[in-house]
Amino acid sequence: MPATTTVRLTSAILVGALACGCHSAQHAATLTTSTSTAVSVPPPVPRIAPLPVRPVEKSQPTSPEKCPATNPAAPAPPDSVLVTCDLARTTRYTLGPETMRLGLTHVDAPKPLTADFFQVILTMDPASETAWAAFTAAHLHAHIAFIRDDLVLEAPMIEDQVSSGQIALTTQTAAAAAQLAQLAGRPP
């Protein structure tokens, strides 16, 4: 069979498989050239908006009506102080300017830890993993906040250096964990 016939036949089969939906978008596509060399195309990498990190200057209990309004379409400038609340609107925070933005590659679905706590794991890209490990080593016992849409997703104290490339966020209800995962994994 001539090379052009092989390429046309291979192209027709590939196009036919894609058109009928027989080829899953989750799997890598393999194209074969006339010299029988396979070219692998990786599946698309999920895109997640960078996750801002700010130092906590002050935190205090509050009620929802005392929380400032937020506008996700017009977030606070990264170099300014931000006064905001957590997702549950039970704590009011005064946060310093952003110290970094973490690149995330994956956000796990919430998993129950106990009857009262749920966990969401955030996985960082290699550059953020390195930067976060250095930051956490240099800022032990610092109080920081992870921010999305000018709301505090979680505000932990740094107890140890984190070099795993993952951040575990916890919350007390399944609904709050689902909201946390949705916000953390939001596309850019």
| Whether 107 contacts 19, CB under 8 Å | no
pLDDT digits (tens, 9 = 90+) for 80-124: 999 999 999 999 999 999 999 999 999 999 999 888 899 999 999
Ramachandran bin of 96, using left for φ above 0, alpha for ψ from -120 to 50, beta for the remaining angles: beta
Task: Look at residue 42 in the predicted model and tell me its pLDDT.
Answer: 63
Number of domains in the chain: 1
Q: Out of 26-35, 157-166, 176-185, which region has the weakest mean confidence (pLDDT)? A: 26-35
Q: How far is CA 110 from CA 17, 26, 151, in A?
A: 35, 22, 19
CATH code of the domain covering residue 161: 3.30.1360.200
Residue whose C-alpha is closest to residue 46's, from 125, 105, 110: 105
Q: Say if 120 falls within a structural domain.
A: yes
Q: Say if 42 falls within a structural domain.
A: no
The pTM is what? 0.74
Q: Say if 64 falls within a structural domain.
A: yes
Q: Say if 43 falls within a structural domain.
A: no
